[in-house]
A = this chain, B = another copy of it.
Amino acid sequence: MASPLTRREVNREATLVDIRQQARELLVADGPAGVTLRPIARAVGLTAPALYRYYDSREDLLLDLIADLYDELSTSMERARDSVPAEDLKGRFMAVTMSFRTWARAHPREFELVFATPLGDPGQCKDARLEACGQRFGGVFQGLFVELWMRRPFPVPADHELDPRLRDQLHQWATDNAIPLPLGALEVFLVCWVRLYGMISLEVFGHLSFALTDVDPMFDAMLAEVANQLGLPEYAEHAPRLNRR
């Protein structure tokens, strides 16, 4: 049988993607503040109030846009990962990380919207969608990290070396998400995440320009350092196939 979607539903879906597309073009052109209803509506061939048939509010539309961008980023990172053979874990790690940075530099406005919009003080996300998107995004790093550790464990702090308060939180996190890693490895993961995010957002927001005109070499150096900490030897750099399992 054919699709159970009525003609109206398919139209609706098309309009929805059209709206998001135009919203994004505005975002790119004028920044987050430039994403306003009337120009979006005009570009889609509607009037502003019509958008309320699709979103409860501008805020709601923005949330959907953020989710879209999150997904795009996650997809591009996954693709970068899968473009490297599964045995070459260092290659995959590098590919994913550089894909993150590449996306951020190519889409600073989008990066700003996704990563520098405070998620409200209630500690919870504003939206379950975003929670899921963040999960997927983090999962790319996390999955790679787990695989990395499983295949060839690297030195991590022992449990007793961790601050008990930190240890408890890491334990909670590990059990909640069934992450089969020692707590020390989780701490290493977080430290890596901090360095990666810190570097990229500093770069995108221009807070490294006081010292550097081109962040590339410093980013490469940081990546190499992190890779080293993760037990990914340097000699595999130009011959990634060497470290067979």
Contact B195 A165 (CB under 8 A): no
A145 to chain B, nearest CB (A): 12
Contact B166 A218 (CB under 8 A): yes
Among residues 165 to 208 in chain A, which have CB atoms less than 8 Å away from a CB atom of chain B?
Answer: 165-166, 169-170, 172-173, 186-187, 190-191, 193-199, 201-202, 204-208
Contact B191 A194 (CB under 8 A): no
Give the one of A31, A134, A165, A198 with max B CB within 10 A. A198
- Please, which residues of chain B bring their CB within 8 A of the CB of A205? 115-119
Size bracket of the A interface = 35 or more
A150 to chain B, nearest CB (A): 19
Q: A118-B108, A163-B220 are in contact. Are A199 and B206 (CB under 8 A)?
A: no
Contact A119 B206 (CB under 8 A): yes
A132 to chain B, nearest CB (A): 12
- Please, which residues of chain B bring their CB within 8 A of the CB of A108? 118, 121
Whether, in the assembled complex, A56 has its beta carbon less than 8 Å from a beta carbon of chain B, the answer is no
Which of B31, B112, B123, B194 is A202 in contact with, Cβ under 8 Å? Answer: B194
Contact A206 B118 (CB under 8 A): yes
Interface-forming stretch among A19-27, A63-71, A80-88, A209-217?
A209-217
- Please, which residues of chain B bring their CB within 8 A of the CB of A210? 134-135, 138, 173
Do most interface residues of chain A lie in helix, strand or loop, or is the interface mixed?
helix
Whether, in the assembled complex, A49 has its beta carbon less than 8 Å from a beta carbon of chain B, the answer is no
Whether, in the assembled complex, A221 has its beta carbon less than 8 Å from a beta carbon of chain B, the answer is yes
Q: How far does the alpha carbon of A123 sit from the alpha carbon of B218 in the complex, in Å?
A: 18
Whether, in the assembled complex, A44 has its beta carbon less than 8 Å from a beta carbon of chain B, the answer is no
Q: How far does the alpha carbon of A121 sit from the alpha carbon of B31 in the complex, in Å?
A: 12
- Please, which residues of chain B bring their CB within 8 A of the CB of A186? 211
Whether, in the assembled complex, A222 has its beta carbon less than 8 Å from a beta carbon of chain B, the answer is yes
Contact B194 A222 (CB under 8 A): yes
Whether, in the assembled complex, A120 has its beta carbon less than 8 Å from a beta carbon of chain B, the answer is yes
Q: Mark A97-135, 1 if CB is under 8 A from B, else 0.
A: 000000000001000100111111101010000000011
- Please, which residues of chain B bring their CB within 8 A of the CB of A115? 205, 207
Residue of B nearest to A168 (CB): B217
- Please, which residues of chain B bring their CB within 8 A of the CB of A208? 190
- Please, which residues of chain B bring their CB within 8 A of the CB of A204? 118
